Amino acid sequence: MPKITFIGAGSLGFTRKLVRDILTFPRLQDATISLMDIDPERLDFARRAVERIVELGNYPARVEATLDRAEALDGADYVMVTILAGGVDIWRHDIEIPKKYGVDTNIGDTRGPSGIFRALRTIPVMLEIARDMERYCPHATMLNYTNPMAMLCRALQRETRIQLTGLCHSVQGTAAMLARWIGAPMEEITYTCAGINHMAWYLRYEWNGQDAYPLIRKAVTERPEVYNEEIVRNEMFLALDYYVTESSGHNSEYNWWFRKRPDLIEKYCTHGTGWNPGEYAYVVKRYQEREQTWREEAKKWFAAETPIDLQRGHEYAAYIVNALEGGEPFQFNGNVANKGLVTNLPEDACVEVPVWASRNGLEAVRVGPLPPQCAMLTNLSAQIEEMAVEGALTGNPRLVYQAIAHDPLTAAVLSLAEIRQMVNEMFEQNRDYLPQFKHFKV
């Protein structure tokens, strides 16, 4: 009877879908599902939603909900984390301040100045959760879904003793996209993917044991609809010969090539990146409206006779928990400490590599070196993240500035003096959310 705890359980869709998937496994159907959130109203919705799933499936699971994190973690076997340190009124400045200086970010939750400041706000909260795990459930496994994935996992791997890995949808999502492009059934595809979160590379991508990269290149170069679906990533593939995980929107921020001039943004980033230039104000408005309308969505969900399909989905965490409980072993790409796994990335940095989950625990797979043309960009981002995490943990604003000064997009647009001014402004805006810093000037 495992106890599975959700920290940040008030997520409108994630908790419902993951609980549904968990309870489809016979080994997990009598689990205790413990829900914790800081928002009482959202927590109540999550509790009622999970109870509805238990009722519809006639499962023997037990559901509990609490505002007390210690109570939720006490005796837990697995801890799912989906939190956001501050609402849209806070994180909007991660995008808007750099934009004022000319750093035109697309999504801004992973790296670059926007992702680094999100990490500065979130790392202290994640460390509190991990410290509570050390106290109340020291043998539990954390499965983290919160961004910025690599920096958060790195901080926890460095500072705590808990077993954890970070989960992202980009590896399996991109693998399925490539299979669709070449007309291959996903069950006939095998691959090896490694790097860092959102910048991992398919070192091997095969269809029935045969190299499928020639088919991918043919699709990208000969079918305009395929090229236009992911312009940024397709350009990177044509130049670097390996396909990168995560969307063009994210990857347009992670390098020097696509967002440093308005004409390049128009050419490469206006389509196929998710959020178009000039749309950020709309996105902020949409998030604000969602905060106001989620109650109506919740009412509609409960009003439906069968509000959720009880068939198992593809959420990795459910398969991982089942494997750790002694079910079928499961391989996934997870975010773990680099203990010789990727030999040309920094030792101990957070890398995303194949991981096996089984009764033996989580066992990462050694991949070896990345191709040099992929390692160069990936290494820079990994080292920037190392510097940013060091700054976050030590409260050193100068390290934060130096990390952002090396960010490829920022450096392509701004001088060092302009970067310093931007970072100072971002520190001032976030002053109330950075308890680890005594000084806010660089």
| Annotated binding-site members for Mn(2+) | 168, 198
Q: Which residue type does 286 have?
A: R
CA 440/CA 427 separation, integer angstroms: 6
What DSSP assignment string belongs to 360-373? TEEEEPP-BPPPHH
Are 203 and 194 within 8 A, CB to CB?
yes
Where do we find the tokens 């000084």? 439
For 184-191, the CB contacts below 8 A with 24+ separation are 184/212
**Computed over its alpha carbons, how large is the radius of gyration of the chain?**
22
State yes or no: is 169 an active-site residue. Answer: yes
Residues flagged as binding site for substrate: 147
CA-nearest of 216, 223, 220 to 202 is 216
Strands (E), 208-349: 210-211, 330-337
Are 99 and 105 within 8 A, CB to CB?
yes
The helix (run of H) or strand (run of E) holding residue 207 is strand 199-207
Residue 409: both structure tokens together: 């997009």
Selected catalytic residue, list 93, 139, 169, 439 = 169
Residues flagged as binding site: 147, 168, 198
Report the Cα 442 to chain-centroid distance in Å. Answer: 29
What DSSP assignment string belongs to 109-173? SSSHHHHHHHHHHHHHHHHHHHHHHHHH-TT-EEEE--SSHHHHHHHHHHH---EEEE--SHHHH
CA 333/CA 353 separation, integer angstroms: 5
Q: How many helices (H) and strands (E) does the chain have?
A: 18, 12
CA 411/CA 408 separation, integer angstroms: 5
Q: Which residues are CB-contacts of 37 (< 8 A; sequence separation ≥ 6)?
A: 7, 8, 9, 10, 43, 46, 67
Active-site positions read 169
